[in-house]
Structures are given as structure tokens and as C-alpha cells.
Structure 1
């Protein structure tokens, strides 16, 4: 806009200069023509002077305007210079920001690369974790399998020991029958028709139990490691003993089943036995012997046992056998255990004593008189100084 004004002003000045030149030419012509008319020349001279004065005033005014425009131009140029410097500073800031953004983009790219690597590693870890869980489950199954086999092996050794002692003893006191499920049924031949039949069903805790040492009872032992196995046995059994004793829960408390599910399963087992053998009395040996491998399981089985005692309290056909003397203050007595879980011979004697007292109390049975064992000390020449099985034989 200022440039246009300057151009217009220059055009005006040029026009004025042209007019002045024309006037000068006119004056020269006037002088050359002579003094034809003095009055006319004076009048024309005054007119020309007036015009020149007006032109000079106009030029002066335009000069002032030009000066003002020039000052405005200088001011605007100063402003433009300042704005240019600001623009340069902004460009520098933008450039710096662009560098920061570029650096951040590089970092973001690196982070994305790391994230992909982490996701890949996480996938590998999850895969390895799943494999570890599968391996742990397999190890757990193998350990359970080994434990079952060890218990079975221990029972087979016990059966072999019993069979060996039976071969040494020529009296027809017991008959040992090997069953298809690697269990032993021990019955008394003498007065078997007069003695109540008792079926002991339980886990490896009963592996040391010798039924012939339970005076006045015709006892057989069946192994069932869990409540479900006990159900399967009762459901498939055709025998109807006078008394059925369940010694389970030891392995069920280690499972992931809830306490309510275990109690419900035990109630179903009792009802199933009542259906299969309506005239059979039922004894639930509670609580199972305390364990040394995990104190938490002791607390859990004690809680379950208390609830079962309340559940069967009003059932005249069912009673519970306490085994508190196997522990002290909620902890197992070490001298009663051969390992962290299984009771030894002394612990078995105490467990069987508890069951015997409960059977006699529940069924109103009198304790039979012990047989005189003096005749078992004869024929020492045959045995020499070696202690004989009959000499060590004790009733529970």
C-alpha cells in the first residue's frame, strides 16, 4: 500500500515539473514577442507566479507526506525485521521440537521393538509355565503312583511276614486268603459263628492291622484310599458284616475338594452302606491320625471330623470313634509314626484299641477273657534263644 502511494506521489511531482517547464517556455515566448501588451503580461505573470506558488506549496506538502510515508515505511520495516527475527526464533524452536519429536519417534520405535520382544518372551514364558504345570502335574501323579505302590509294597511285605509266621505256627488259629485287590481277609476259625463280623475299610493307615489280634471279633480288612474308593467297594460288595468301620479322610483332605463336598461324600458313603447292609452298625473313625507332613491338613481334617460328629449325632446306627490319643495338643506323637504320615506298630495298637473300645461300647459287647499263653512257651529247644512270634503276640 505504501509503495502505491509513493508511485502516485512521484507521478504528481513529474506533472508539476512538466507544468513548470511549460510555463518557462511560455514566458520565453512572451519575452520574444515584445512588450505587446504590458497589462496582459503583468496579469499573466501574476497568474504564472500564483500557479508556481501553488505548485511549490503542493510540492512542499507532498514532500512532507513523502517524509511521513518514509517514516512509516521505516517503522513498518522495523516491525517486519522484528517479526522476521521472531519467525526465525520460532523456526529454530520448531526445528528443535522437530528434533525432539524425531528422537521421541526413535525411542517409540525402540519401545515398540522392546514391547514385541517382551510379548514374545511373555509368550515363551507362558508356554514354559504351561509345560511346567503339566510336568508338575505329571510329577504329582507319578509321586502319587509311587506312594500307592510303596503302600502296596509295604502291605505285600506285611502279608508275606504274616504268611511266614503262619507257616511257622501249626495251630489252625487263622486262615489268610489273598484277594484279587492285593488285600488280606483275616477271620477267626475258632468260634467264628459266635463272634460278630467286623469289616475295616480304610487307607494305608490300616496296613499294620492284624484282625486276629482283635479278641472276640471276626475281622476283615479292606483298603480304600479315598471316600470314593470306599463307595466303590461298598457298592460292589455282597458281604453284610455286623459292624462296618470306616477309616478314611486322610487322603481326601489333601485334595482340592471343599470341606462341604467331603462331608457330603462321607454322608453318601454312610447312606450307601445302610442301603447295602441295613443291619450293619457303622463306626466312623474320627479324626484320622494326625499328620506330620502338613499341619494345615490336621486342622482341616479336625474341622471336618467335628462337623461329621454333629451330622451323625442323632443317627442311632452310626457312631464316631475318637482318636485324640494319637496326638497331643493337635500335633502327632512322634513315637507313634514310622514316617510323616503312617503310624507304626505302636500307633496301630493304639488305633485298634480305640476301635475295639468303640465297637464293644456301641454293640454292648463284653471284653472276652484272654487265652492262656503259657503253652506257647514250650518246645524252647526248637526255637532256642530266638524270640518266637507267639511269644511276642499281644492282643490289642
Structure 2
């Protein structure tokens, strides 16, 4: 069986005041056309269909258009679960009716994990649910964190699993390998819970032949290829600019697994460029860009000037200022009370300008405060 594993569409996403809907539409329509040549048997969407619980109507229209085309034009079943960004109840509206068309949407946690058999493969749909909700739903006070919650939910189907068949779990969460966590999160991922209570150890999934995960935006495996994140379809933050976005085509039989990355060129890339202002003003691009300026002095109205050549500029920072601030002394209230006015000004100047105030400058500052009668 050949399965497309995708996740984290985040339809309706806005990044730095830019709506990503045009980019998402372009990507998903290109994906469908590409899949027509790939002879796949099923599609998995492992959570975060939308970027927020109340998505804009344009995002809902795009979701409906995409999922309908996948089912009708590709003629394959589509399995969708809710992620932590989705509204569990809203996403599964009319789910029973849609299942008749082989669109299986699981939004809310049930007392037992939903199983959908298809061509000798069992698909287990585990939508995201906070551990507090799972504890109340299962009436199990021993559930203290996300790992406990997932363990308890898996227990509801363990006795009925047939190890001679292909068993695939679709889930959304933060899965790690205990003692060897090499996961790579991104800035645009919303924490699932406080501290380390969001982590789930990969050992819980050993009975499955493949685990299709959503939540982390970089495509990556956890311990081995049997447990994978497909990553988000597009870049959604500066920290994701180094990513090479992809979905995965999974070819699976019992005791046989192959992963084929599928890359779709986006409408616009998202990149980070480090250069001087004068060099940047020589170029132009329609991509989404984050600028890291190497200039030691501030450039007046730099962002507006850059946007004349880069209309989708998303952010700007001065590298020298950032590096200076990262090592600057952070004075507490008592420290500040001990500093003289000239020293306070010197601290402020050096952090703001990202350059040292030289002796001549310090003398001028001291003279000014002296003239004001403020030496200490």
C-alpha cells in the first residue's frame, strides 16, 4: 500500500501580517495534480488542518475544496484527525455522513480509538486531546501528563490489535526518544502543555507498523522510520527558513517500509538573508524574507525602503545589536540604583547603538549631566 502522509496545513495562517491562504491554495492544488501520477492508495492528514479553532471562512472553503478533490478525483480514502490548533468538535461536523464518501474525520477523543480497516490495513485515528480532558473522559486519576494520556488511550485497542495485519496509527503530539531526544521544534508550534508534561515516549508505539505524526513542523523521524513527522506543508516562521519542506509517500507491507519524500515547489519561498542595507537595495524578490542587517548604524526607515524591492518582507533585525544584547549585562534594581547617570546613559547607548561609547563621548555625557547638576 502507498500512503501520502501529510500534516500541519494550518489553513488560514497569518505570518507577520501576511495571509498564507494564496500560498496554501497554490500548494494544495499542485499536490493534488502531482498525486494523480503517484498511484497512491490513501491519504493521511495528521492534525492542524486549521491554524486556529475559529478559522476564517476562506480557510474552511479551501479545506472543503481540497479534501473533496482528494476523495473524488484521486478516488482514495482520506484520514483526518484534529490537532492542537483545531476545534475538536467543529472539525468533525457531519463526520458520519462524510465517512460514506471515504473521508474519515476524527475530531474528538472517544472512549476507544477509532479503527478504519482498508485493504488489509488498519488505520487508528487518535485526535489530539489534552491529558486533563483524557483523565476526565476515562475517569482515570492516574493520568498526570500527555504520555499517561496516550498510554491509556492505546490500552483501549491493544487487546484487539491483530499483529499479522498492517497497523497504522495517526496521532498529533510531541513524541521523543527518552534519553536521546533529537527532535527539532519550530517557533510556530504552539506548546501542548506546560514544561515537559507534553512529551510522549516513542516506546509506546512499538506495536504499530507505522506512526504518522503531526505537530512538529520539520520532517523528521523519531528513533526510526516507523515513527515520523511529515512536517508542515509550508514554512510558517523564521526558524523554519532552513527547512526543506516535504510530505512523505509511505510504501508499506508487513515488515517492509519505504519512505519517499515528496517536495512541491511553493508559490513563494520563505528565506533569511544576512547582508548590508546597501547590498540588499541592489536586489529584489517576491519571496517572504527576514533580513539580518550587518550595518553598525541604524538605517532610517529601513523596512519601508526594503519593501519597495521586497514586497513580502517579513522582518528585520540588526545582527550587531542582537549579538551585543545577548552578552549585555542585565542589571537588577539594586544594580541600577548604584549606577551614576552617565553610566546609565552609557549602558543605554551601547545596547541601543550596538557600539561602545568612546572616551570622548563619555566626557561629553559627563559634562552634560554635570551642567544639569546630575552627576550621580
TM-score interval, normalised by the smaller of the two chains:
0.3 to 0.5
| Greater relative contact order (Cα < 8 A, sep 6+) | 2
The structure in which a higher percent of residues are strand is 2
Q: TM-score, normalised by structure 2?
A: 0.33
- Structure in which a larger fraction of residues adopt helix: 1
